[in-house]
């Protein structure tokens, strides 16, 4: 189905199932331990051996020698895979560094060997007996030091490296009120609950991989490319995923090494990455240095806005696209953005929840707060004054929907924003200095082809098959809701099968594009199935009702199941998008409001309450959408207050590589969260009229927290995370 | 993890005797030791399981204090009515540590013997004098935000992670032990934990095979008892700085500080300045401080935290 003009009325608009707060249809499997996660799939193939990954002990250099003799002789050892004996390996399209290093080492904890043994404990013990001597090389590990040598990156995801409209320099120089500040965000880890894990089994030249992966087609392709085998020879299965946040968009060492280990040991092999390996072996969100300049008239209208960002990556990697939102969020005739990329020899950077916007808004939305203060304007009012309904770089392109102003206004009202004292450091309750902060949320709506197959059986059950994934987001449920709405059956009569490379290729889970695109693909397939049903049942009108298990036209009503009485009906289709995203700018919007307390003595920062108001198209399942947003808000608090991969700049690695050292919020950190979705349906986005919310929820949270801390204390911190050590010297004297 | 042999001991003397074997270790709750064994930071050849020794009761002593068995779980110690009434600082410190699950498993003796959470100690690719004597200290000149600001050495700036031990230092407890030859002794808590010096791998006064059997809480000293733990997140994190304080109505008292040194940090002479306020106390406690650039904030933080605790004690 080609989607190239705005959606008209369609069966989804009935909203009998779609739009209703719905429990996860897979919830019972998760709470009863019956959802099969990759590492526990003992049942899929017998005789599984265990692989243990050895990570490089240096950040850069070469393996001088490797002695496997002792390890090979250890109890239970079946095989040891190294770059030397693995045969020729390619590199996946989505990988920057090789997944099996050696002799050259590109980053710390790059996999250099897999020890395969009868038991996990034997594999781990034998791994300790592998002796590796390294010739350590010199690397660059400090973004600030490498900044001057940064270059203009090739455009990949996230737009061109440089943009410019009007005369920024002239307008900024002439502006009566201006701000120029630099902000930094640290490297961050996805730190998802389930570590990367895979089981591999070969049958002749056919490889089966049970794994944990967000993008089935990308990854089946990259496994094939890495191993040098045809893509058709790879079956990749990932029905349940214990969190990804972008960390599982790509094939990682667990999958490739499981396949190589299984080949070497001639039996199925399972591999998981240990927690200490995850931070340095896999990808992370790269650190940024961001310079923001804003010029405004005394009327509070922005006349000049510039956002530049520096980040680093391994050679061949990409930048953190932290300037993207600044091209679209606020009006202003004169504007520029720029991204520069330095070569760093830290582990490879890549996408993490709202890549670009998450760190970009952490900087921009502090700058907006600072600018509002310079103008003596309320920060909500300053944002409203600079709203735009068109793409500021190309005013011919309107936003398909844009309710930023409504989000901010409703949020201010619901949060009690009027009670905020604009003068910082004034509100106190006992030992706590209290402050409120606001930030805009913004994340683009990305459109991409997505296919599905639907089947109708003689009992009237509908089965959906697509290689779409559910990374904890609730995909199973919204896909079931879509099919139920389209086919007029109760939710209980829909079965959803996901995450299998033998199914039609979907958009996959990433970039908050999953919900809108994947359900649109299911919509397309259901439209086809409805046509088959109509034909089978001898209806020759387009005015068919599919409801309550019946197909009805005029006075004639036939049970849906009857269409499959001679055998299952199957339909397959994909949603494919035309150029509506060129003609219209499609984005999602929100307002984040945060109240914090800062301990007057210790400068400990604790969030007291949070509110997000989101406008993000039709909300398919308000219950799971809310869960997505509160989860993202929690992650935003982590980014604001504690998350940082600490770099050892001599040895070139992330030091705090476990969940004791890399702190994320715990329950006690998150007392009260509220989410409001504004009514919205965006016919330009898709037939579902939906967008995404999973990333919108994190965008802006960090800055809202930072602005609240400023309001509480009068101390402006521009380097994340905002930990107490950055406040303590400036806190007021206490007795 | 290296293969090891395992036995269950039936009496403290039997356990201590069994520990004569080279590479033997006691295991009780195992909340720290098992993690370290999996990473092969600890590689005992022989484990002596002491969970069957009894030693899990809290009894009143003739002196009016409490004798806490080595195997009393942290949860039980924190919840004991007598502890809550007379040793509030200890109960509060215990509850500020770890998580409910860990406290259910962790024992009194094991808590004292926790090893540092220095991330370089945990990464066997990195030099660490505590893990591998003579290999060097990676934290010095590395990532040292969490590390010691006082009492460290050129060999090691690790901190002791326990909350319980900081309160016990303020209470001046005594550690009772039995040695492989069957002899018992009492070690004042002040002498129990060592500063790193040139031998950071030697962390306590215990000799090889010496088994902790109990911790003696002296007669209650009264006063307001406060434990204040300062950390980046609200729960389940090690202290940046913690303060265990016992403050009497006349303003005198005791202060021990956690998160700043290789052992709970207390200098009795500094306590004379308590009536003068936190600045004087902190100045005396940290006169010999040698912070790194990354952790010098702990000095300000400790002073302000002591101030907050003293204010709370007054109010």
| CATH number of the domain where residue A267 is located | 3.30.365.10
- Strands (DSSP E) found in A137-268: 162-165, 177-185, 197-203, 206-211, 234-237
Concatenating the DSSP letter of every residue in A627-673 gives HHHHHHHHHHHHHHHT----EETTTTEES--STTTS----GGG---E
pLDDT at A111 over 70: yes
Q: What is the pLDDT of residues A368-427, one digit of tens each?
A: 999 999 999 999 999 999 999 999 999 999 999 999 999 999 999 999 999 999 999 999
Which among A579, A612, A636 is the end of a domain? Answer: A579
Q: What separation in angstroms does the CA of B311 have from each of A433, A525, B65, B226, B287?
A: 17, 69, 28, 11, 23
Q: What is the pLDDT of residues B298-307, one digit of tens each?
A: 999 999 999 9
Q: What is the pTM of this model?
A: 0.98
Which residues have a Cβ under 8 Å from the Cβ of B275 and sit 6 or more positions away?
Answer: B250, B251, B252
Which among A579, A609, A632 is the end of a domain? Answer: A579
A13 lies in which domain range? 2-35+447-579
Query: Mean pLDDT throughout A506-511?
Result: 97
- Asked if A593 and A678 sit in the same domain, the reply is yes
Token output for A676: 């409001």
Q: Is residue A412 part of a domain?
A: yes
In terms of Cα–Cα distance, which of A383, A361, A224 is closest to A302?
A383
**Res A298: pLDDT:** 97
> If you count residue pairs, one on A and one on B, with CB atoms under 8 Å apart, how many are there?
100
Rounded Cα distance between A7 and A4, Å, is 9
Complex ipTM > 0.95:
yes
- Asked if A129 and A219 sit in the same domain, the reply is yes
Q: What separation in angstroms does the CA of A482 have from each of A460, A516, A517, A520, B37?
A: 16, 11, 12, 9, 50
Q: Is residue A458 part of a domain?
A: yes
Q: Is residue A489 part of a domain?
A: yes
Q: What separation in angstroms does the CA of B300 have from each of A571, A642, B118, B196, B274?
A: 69, 20, 22, 23, 17
- Asked if A108 and A199 sit in the same domain, the reply is yes
The closest CB to that of A648, out of B143, B235, B300, belongs to B143
Which residue in chain B has the smallest CA separation from A670?
Answer: B234
- Asked if A133 and A264 sit in the same domain, the reply is yes
Query: Mean pLDDT throughout B168-187?
Result: 97
Query: Mean pLDDT throughout A621-626?
Result: 98
**Res A6: pLDDT:** 98
Q: What is the pLDDT of residues A646-687, one digit of tens each?
A: 999 999 999 999 999 999 999 999 999 999 999 999 999 999
Q: Is residue A157 part of a domain?
A: no
Q: Which spans in A147-286 are helix H? A: 168-174, 216-227, 253-265, 275-281
Residue A727 DSSP class: T
Is residue A313 within 8 Å of A319, Cβ to Cβ? yes
- Asked if A43 and A112 sit in the same domain, the reply is yes
Is residue A704 within 8 Å of A365, Cβ to Cβ? yes
CA distance between the termini of chain B: 52
- Determine the 3-state secondary structure of A55 from DSSP: strand
- Asked if A710 and A606 sit in the same domain, the reply is yes
Q: What is the pLDDT of residues A239-262, one digit of tens each?
A: 999 999 999 999 999 999 999 999
Is residue A289 within 8 Å of A310, Cβ to Cβ? yes
Lowest mean pLDDT among A156-160, A471-475, B275-279, B293-297: A156-160
- Determine the 3-state secondary structure of A508 from DSSP: coil
Chain B from 221 to 250: CB within 8 A of any A CB: 230-238, 240
Which residue in chain B has the smallest CA separation from A605?
Answer: B232
Q: Is residue A712 part of a domain?
A: yes
Question: Cβ B235–A121 below 8 Å, yes or no?
Answer: no
- Asked if A613 and A710 sit in the same domain, the reply is yes
**Res A735: pLDDT:** 61
- Asked if A133 and A227 sit in the same domain, the reply is yes
- Asked if A58 and A199 sit in the same domain, the reply is yes
Q: Provide the phi-psi class of A126: left if phi over 0, else alpha when psi is between -120 and 50, else beta.
A: alpha
Q: Is residue A58 part of a domain?
A: yes
> What is the total count of domains within chain A?
3
Question: Cβ B304–A734 below 8 Å, yes or no?
Answer: yes
pLDDT at A158 over 80: no
Rg over alpha carbons for chain A, rounded to the nearest Å, is 27
- Asked if A95 and A223 sit in the same domain, the reply is yes
pLDDT at A155 over 80: no
Token output for A536: 């089978």
Question: Cβ B240–A735 below 8 Å, yes or no?
Answer: no
Concatenating the DSSP letter of every residue in B174-225 gives EEEEE-TTS-EEEEEHHHHBPP-TT-TT--BSPPTT-EEEEEEEPSP--SEE
Q: Tokens 């002799």 identify what position?
A: A103
- Asked if A413 and A549 sit in the same domain, the reply is no
- How far does the CA of residue A668 sit from the closest CA of chain B (Å)? 6
Q: Does residue B300 sit at the A interface (CB-CB below 8 Å)? A: yes
Is residue A377 within 8 Å of A300, Cβ to Cβ? yes
Is residue B101 within 8 Å of B251, Cβ to Cβ? no
Concatenating the DSSP letter of every residue in A306-362 gives EEEEEEEESTT-----TTGGGGTSS--SEEEEEEEEEE--SSPB---SSTTHHHHHH
- How far does the CA of residue A574 sit from the closest CA of chain B (Å)? 46
Q: Which residues of A touch B301 (CB under 8 A)?
A: 602-603, 724-725, 728
Q: Which residues of B touch A734 (CB under 8 A)?
A: 304, 307-308, 311
Q: What is the pLDDT of residues B191-237, one digit of tens each?
A: 999 999 999 999 999 999 999 999 999 999 999 999 999 999 999 99
Rounded Cα distance between A607 and A642, Å, is 12
**Res A543: pLDDT:** 87
**Res B103: pLDDT:** 98
- How far does the CA of residue B10 sit from the closest CA of chain A (Å)? 29
Q: Is residue A466 part of a domain?
A: yes
Is residue B56 within 8 Å of B72, Cβ to Cβ? yes
pLDDT at A693 over 90: yes
Q: Which helix (H) or strand (E) holds A27?
A: helix A27-31
Question: Cβ B230–A650 below 8 Å, yes or no?
Answer: no
CA distance between the termini of chain A: 71
Which among A533, A552, A579 is the end of a domain? Answer: A579
Q: Is residue A143 part of a domain?
A: no
Rounded Cα distance between A412 and A322, Å, is 27
Going by pLDDT thresholds of 50, 70 and 90, the confidence category of residue A457 is: very high
Q: Which spans in chain B are helix H? A: 12-18, 33-38, 74-79, 81-86, 88-96, 100-105, 108-112, 119-122, 164-171, 189-192, 278-285, 297-314
Q: What separation in angstroms does the CA of A678 have from each of A85, A516, A634?
A: 58, 17, 21
Which residue in chain A has the smallest CA separation from B310?
Answer: A735
Chain-centroid distance of CA A489 in Å reads 32
Which residue in chain B has the smallest CA separation from A121?
Answer: B1
- Determine the 3-state secondary structure of B105 from DSSP: helix
Query: Mean pLDDT throughout A459-487?
Result: 98
**Res B315: pLDDT:** 82
- Asked if A16 and A80 sit in the same domain, the reply is no
């Amino acid at each position: 189905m080609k989607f190239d003009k705005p959606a008209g009325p369609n069966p989804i608009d009935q909203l009998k199932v779609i739009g209703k707060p719905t429990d996860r249809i897979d919830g019972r499997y998760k709470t009863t331990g019956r959802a099969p996660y990759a590492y526990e799939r003992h049942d899929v193939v017998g005789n599984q051996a265990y692989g243990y990954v050895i990570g490089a002990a240096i950040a850069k250099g070469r393996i001088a020698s490797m002695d496997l003799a002792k390890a090979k002789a250890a109890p239970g050892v079946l095989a040891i895979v190294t770059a030397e004996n693995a045969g020729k390996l390619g590199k996946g399209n989505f990988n920057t560094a090789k997944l099996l290093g050696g002799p050259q080492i590109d980053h710390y904890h790059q996999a250099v060997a897999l020890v395969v043994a009868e038991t996990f404990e034997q594999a781990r013990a034998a791994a300790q007996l592998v002796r590796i001597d390294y010739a350590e090389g010199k690397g660059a590990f400090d973004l600030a030091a490498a900044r001057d040598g940064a270059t203009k990156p090739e455009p990949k995801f996230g737009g061109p490296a440089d943009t410019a409209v009007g005369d920024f320099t002239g307008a900024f120089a002439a502006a009566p009120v201006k701000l120029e500040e630099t902000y930094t965000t640290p490297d961050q880890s996805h730190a998802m609950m389930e570590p990367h894990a895979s089981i591999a089994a070969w049958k002749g030249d056919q490889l089966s991989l049970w794994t944990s992966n967000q993008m089935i087609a990308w990854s089946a392709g990259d496994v094939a490319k890495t191993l040098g085998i045809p893509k058709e020879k790879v079956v990749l299965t990932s029905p349940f995923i214990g969190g990804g946040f972008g960390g599982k968009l790509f094939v990682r060492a667990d999958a490739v090494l499981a396949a190589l280990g299984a080949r070497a040991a001639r039996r199925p092999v399972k591999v998981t990455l240990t927690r200490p390996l995850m931070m340095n072996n896999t990808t992370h969100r790269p650190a940024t240095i961001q310079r923001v300049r804003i010029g405004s008239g005394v009327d509070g209208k922005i006349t000049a806005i510039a956002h530049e960002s520096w980040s680093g990556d391994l050679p061949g990697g990409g930048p953190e696209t932290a300037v993207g939102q600044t091209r679209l969020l606020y009006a202003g005739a004169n504007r520029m953005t720029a991204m520069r990329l330095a070569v760093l020899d830290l582990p490879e950077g890549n996408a993490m929840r709202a890549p670009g916007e998450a760190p970009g808004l952490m900087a921009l939305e502090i700058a907006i707060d600072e600018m509002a203060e310079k103008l003596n304007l309320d920060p909500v009012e300053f944002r409203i004054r600079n709203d735009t309904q068109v793409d500021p770089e190309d005013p011919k392109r309107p936003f398909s929907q844009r309710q930023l102003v409504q989000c901010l206004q409703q949020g201010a009202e619901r949060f009690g924003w009027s009670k905020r004292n604009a003068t910082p450091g004034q509100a106190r309750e006992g030992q706590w200095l209290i402050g409120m902060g606001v930030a805009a949320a913004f994340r683009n709506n990305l459109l991409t082809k997505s296919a599905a197959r639907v089947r109708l059986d003689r009992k009237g059950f509908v089965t959906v098959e697509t290689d779409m994934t559910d990374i904890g987001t609730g995909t199973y449920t919204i896909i079931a809701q879509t099919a139920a709405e389209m086919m007029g059956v109760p939710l209980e009569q829909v079965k959803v099968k996901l995450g299998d490379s033998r199914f039609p290729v979907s958009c996959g889970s990433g970039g908050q594009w999953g919900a809108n695109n994947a359900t649109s693909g299911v919509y397309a397939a259901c439209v086809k199935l409805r046509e088959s049903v109509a034909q089978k049942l001898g209806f020759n009108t387009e005015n068919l009702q599919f409801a309550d298990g019946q197909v009805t036209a005029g006075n004639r009503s036939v049970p849906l199941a009857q269409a499959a009485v001679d055998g299952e009906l199957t339909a397959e289709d994909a949603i494919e998008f035309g150029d509506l995203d060129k003609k219209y700018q499609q984005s999602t919007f929100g307002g984040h409001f945060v109240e914090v307390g800062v301990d007057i003595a210790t400068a400990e920062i604790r969030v007291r309450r949070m509110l997000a108001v989101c406008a993000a198209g039709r909300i398919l399942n308000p219950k799971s959408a809310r869960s997505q947003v509160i989860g993202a808000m929690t992650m935003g608090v982590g980014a604001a207050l504690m998350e940082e991969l600490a770099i050892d700049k001599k040895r070139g690695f992330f030091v705090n590589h476990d969940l004791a050292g890399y702190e994320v919020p715990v329950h006690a950190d998150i007392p009260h969260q509220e989410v409001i979705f504004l009514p919205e349906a965006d016919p330009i986005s898709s037939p579902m009229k939906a967008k995404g919310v999973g990333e919108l929820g994190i965008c802006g949270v960090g800055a809202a927290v930072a602005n609240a801390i400023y309001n509480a204390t009068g101390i402006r911190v521009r380097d994340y995370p905002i930990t107490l050590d950055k406040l303590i010297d400036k806190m007021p004297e206490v007795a | 993890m290296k293969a090891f042999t395992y036995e269950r001991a039936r009496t403290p003397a039997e356990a201590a005797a069994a520990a004569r074997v080279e590479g033997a270790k006691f295991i009780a709750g195992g909340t720290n030791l098992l993690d370290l064994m999996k990473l092969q930071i600890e590689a005992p050849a022989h484990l002596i399981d002491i969970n069957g020794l009894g030693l899990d009761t809290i009894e009143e002593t003739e002196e009016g204090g409490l004798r806490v068995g080595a195997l009393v779980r942290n949860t039980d110690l924190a919840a004991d009515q007598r502890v809550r009434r007379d040793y509030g600082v200890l109960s509060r410190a215990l509850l500020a540590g770890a998580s409910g699950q860990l406290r259910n498993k962790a024992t009194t003796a094991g808590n004292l013997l926790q090893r540092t959470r220095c991330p370089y100690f945990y990464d066997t690719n990195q030099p660490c004098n505590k893990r591998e004597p003579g290999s060097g200290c990676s934290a010095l000149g590395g990532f040292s935000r969490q590390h010691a600001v006082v009492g460290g050495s050129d060999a090691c700036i690790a901190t002791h992670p326990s909350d319980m031990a900081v309160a016990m230092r303020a209470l001046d407890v005594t550690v009772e032990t039995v040695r492989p030859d069957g002899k018992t002794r009492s070690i004042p808590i002040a002498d129990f934990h060592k500063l790193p010096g040139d031998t950071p791998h030697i962390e306590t006064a215990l000799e090889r095979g010496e088994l902790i059997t109990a911790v003696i809480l002296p007669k209650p000293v009264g006063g307001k008892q406060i434990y204040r733990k300062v950390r980046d997140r609200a729960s389940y994190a090690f202290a940046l700085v913690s303060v265990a304080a016992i403050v009497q109505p006349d303003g005198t008292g005791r202060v021990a500080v956690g998160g700043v040194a290789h052992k709970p940090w207390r200098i009795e002479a500094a306590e004379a300045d308590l009536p003068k306020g936190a600045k004087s106390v902190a100045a005396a406690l940290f006169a010999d401080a040698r912070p790194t650039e990354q952790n010098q904030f702990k000095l300000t933080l400790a002073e302000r935290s002591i101030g907050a605790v003293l204010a709370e004690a007054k109010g």
